[in-house]
Structure 1
């Protein structure tokens, strides 16, 4: 059996390249009281419970043209949820397959070619009594074998969570051989994950890349460009806090965002 790779290269057997999209989102809020922190965690657990997360992942599977073979899901105590989908290829029209650098659509049928693949999500709501900051993180992995890249699902995933910070990693692993025995370590051109994002996403977020082209490793970090403190106050509004308290809360939130974005503890004066 042989398949056609880009530039009409004939493959020996199946396309064995594995393409993995790792997608981490972070949501941040300020919950002043213990009750507000508890209500935030309850809200997140309800908003992103295992049932809803399953729906999001099933939409991703439909988007890239995959059959769902098995679903495993679990809501945890005291908080958090996990969902894993095993997926496989389905018969598709070859003209629907595209690896070009362009934004993937929102949920609508896209033809894909996958085998021995999976999609997973794990959520991590948390809060701390000191400072009033609460956060929510979701880790999503979309791993596919075959011709299509999971990056085509990126636009849909970003719109499904609408978070403050997004960290995306994409890697192509392994190799596939053509009929002459030559190895091919990637089957599509890519110079940035950003090229798969829609215009509205690029307008909302500040982004920068760290790419290792020779290793087929691509990394993009994103943080919301506009800051409105009202968007980060849970159970209260700016009118409920005195000016001095508002300045303190804004500094806390901005520092939290900076530390998550840069992945380390930072000085109190540093802001994004």
Structure 2
């Protein structure tokens, strides 16, 4: 199976890798990003069209989809990959910062889907692939706003899958783990740096930093490749599968969240993240 796929957030990471993979396997690719100048390395492949699309700019979404259909004749799949994480205790996170997190991770994906649905309905076919996260399945400290946005995307996607199935339109979720080498954390640090965090959080933050640091050190070195392969599988496997777990590094946590009792899972997470009292106290 081949076709045309539109992917958001293709300037780096999962989006860039997925664009290259689809193109190498014979698909026409609309690789979108906020600044098309960052997509020069994708233009070497003749079946990739680099287009400006900012998920916070609805006019750019409509224009990108119109341009893609005019260029390739149709779009068969859309991958909502653009996103970033707001990492901080909740208290110092401003209302504007929280709004921006949802504008990109949730409302941006919704706006892309709303814009493509008339085309998919006309064709009575199409696949929508939303890039979620393990943080859309279980809560994690220092990531409450990011988790909230991904929980929202999970619930929206599952509901939408039922809503669109009778129209021949599939909805899929990809749930990656860590994001080494994606550029994700670079933007996240830029968005959250300099927040006025009260000193009362210092002990907890220091402990959480150790946990996340160890997780990053042991994360899947092939994560980008595995996620790109999962995105391709979701677009081409022809199944009704809703969720795809491409990385082994968080598989145990995802399985525990879905298969353990509530008490067992909460105890597991508290064991990870709550600082242990000092033996000298």
Using the size of structure 1 for normalisation, the TM-score is 0.29
Larger RCO (CA under 8 A, 6+ residues apart): 1
Per residue, is there more helix in 1 or in 2? 2
Per residue, is there more strand in 1 or in 2? 1
